[in-house]
Amino acid sequence: MSFAIISMPILTGSAGILIVILEGLQHLFQFQNNWTSYRSTCENLKHEKYLWLAKSGPYLDVENPNAVLADRVESLISQEHAKWIAGQEKVAQVKK
């Protein structure tokens, strides 16, 4: 019985320390913001895929729909990369 009583405060304190460390890492690396941004880009890429497969929207009356798809996908990826860079610069400023 005495072991359980002694170990409970240690267990509780250890759990608290672990939570603080994990929250600090999450805040530092912005996992939630990155995931939200990545999901948005993923959904936009899926949307482009379905438009391309259906030959609708910007792919309706073009000579080379593959080239249009490549341009639009590259644009989405470039936007995602720019957002990531901006986020990393923001994190670097917070660290200073």
pLDDT tier at 13, thresholds 50, 70, 90 = very high
Least confident of 4-13, 22-31, 61-70, 79-88: 4-13
Separation between Cα atoms, residue 81 and residue 45, nearest integer Å: 14
Q: How far apart are the first and last CA of the chain?
A: 49
Per-residue model confidence as pLDDT tens digits over 44-73? 999 999 999 999 999 999 999 999 999 999
Q: Is 16 helix (H, G, I), strand (E, B) or coil?
A: helix
What are the residue ranges spanned by the domains of the chain? 2-95
pLDDT band at 9 (very low <50, low <70, confident <90, very high): confident
> What's the rounded Cα separation, in Å, for the pair 65 and 81?
24
Cβ contact 26:32 at 8 Å: yes
Convert 59-73 to b/e letters by CB count within 10 Å (16 or more is b).
Answer: beeeeebeebbeebe
